[in-house]
Every structure is written in structure tokens, then in C-alpha cells.
Amino acid sequence: MKQAIEHATLGKIEYEENFWTGKKKLYINGTPLQKQSKGVYLAPDGGSVYLEGNYLTGAFVNINSERIRLTAAVKWYEIVLSILPFILIMVWGNSALLCSIVPVIGGAIGGGISGVMCVTNLFIIKGVKPVWLKLVISIAMLVATFLLCFLIALIYLAAVN
């Protein structure tokens, strides 16, 4: 995930965080900052730049005792939209009546699938600006989670019978 902001005195500040590893990089006006230790970078003028937070909790840099926000924290509705697939599979997978109508895989397998889809949804919708598009993406992820758990349940039932 890459985020760039314009600062009045420092110019363009770019923040990059790897989705898989969490590795972070900072750039000021296109110049990469040298990492000294965890969360501490060497500024072009020789001073220290302190990086706090991450993509989900909100990233900040402290430069010359000025705190600058690089990314916003996750909003409450993004969290709610992201946990819906997990809740759906846990409720549906534990209901014998619902599974007799449309079977879905529950338990550890369904929880693992829906958990991965929840985290994926959160990272996707965090980078999207319009709220309506966040809703559309979240509904699509909810449907994809349900269909995936349904297909795995069909495979499991065919193997058992």
C-alpha cells in the first residue's frame, strides 16, 4: 500500500507498506530515507524521522517535533463490513436448519476461509474512497465467501457419501 501527501514545508512525503511482510519505506521529495532502527529513519538534512503506526491503525511521522498523519485509521463501518462474512459463516455453519437448506462448511475450515476473506476485504476497502464502493466490494466479498464455503461443503458432502 502506497500513500503520498503534500506537506507545506517538507514537500511530498510518501509512505509505502508491504501488505504481506509489513516492511515500511519512507520517501521525502522522491528521496528514500535510510532506516536506522525500528521506526527511525535518517532525514536528508541529517536529523531523525520517527514513524509510528501502520496502514490499518494510522501511520504518523514525527519530523522536527511535528507530527504528520500519513494514513487514516480504519473506520468503524469498515470493520463492521469486514467481519460480516465471518459472522455469516459462523452462524450459518452452526445452524442445522440453515445447512439443510444450503450447506456451507463451518468450523475451522469455514472460519479460516471467512477470516482470510475478512482481512482481504478490510485491506481492499481501506484503499477505496467512496463509501458506496466500499459497500459494493464488501457485499461482493460476502457473496464470494458464502459461495466458496458452499462449494467446499458440496465437495465434502460428495466425498463423505
Give the burial class of 2: count Cβ atoms within 10 A of its Cβ; 0-12 exposed, 13-18 middle, 19 or more buried: exposed
Bridge partners (DSSP) listed for residue 50 = 40, 62
Cα separation, 155 vs 148, whole angstroms: 11
Can you tell me whether residue 161 is helix, strand or coil?
Answer: coil
Bridge partners (DSSP) listed for residue 17 = 24
Bridge-based pairing of strands 34-37 and 31-32 is unpaired
> In degrees, to the nearest 5, what angle opens at C-alpha 91 toward C-alphas 151 and 128?
75
Provide DSSP, 4-73.
Answer: EEEETTTEEEEEEE-TTT--EEEEETTEEPEEEETTEEE-TTS-EEEEES-TTT--EEEETTEEEE-SPP
Q: What is the pLDDT of residue 140?
A: 98
**Sequential pLDDT tens for the chain (161 residues):** 788 888 888 889 899 988 778 889 899 888 888 889 888 998 877 888 999 998 888 899 998 888 999 888 999 999 999 999 999 999 999 999 999 999 999 999 999 999 999 999 998 999 899 999 999 999 999 999 999 999 999 999 999 98
Q: What is the pLDDT of residue 148?
A: 97
Q: Per the structure block, which three cell numbers stand in for 67?
A: 507530527
Diameter of the chain measured on Cα atoms: 70
Q: What is the pLDDT of residue 156?
A: 96
Helical axes 107-126 vs 76-93, angle rounded to 10° = 160
Distance of CA 79 to the CA centre of its chain: 10
Q: What is the pLDDT of residue 84?
A: 97
Q: What is the pLDDT of residue 85?
A: 96
- Taking the model in full, what pTM does it have? 0.81
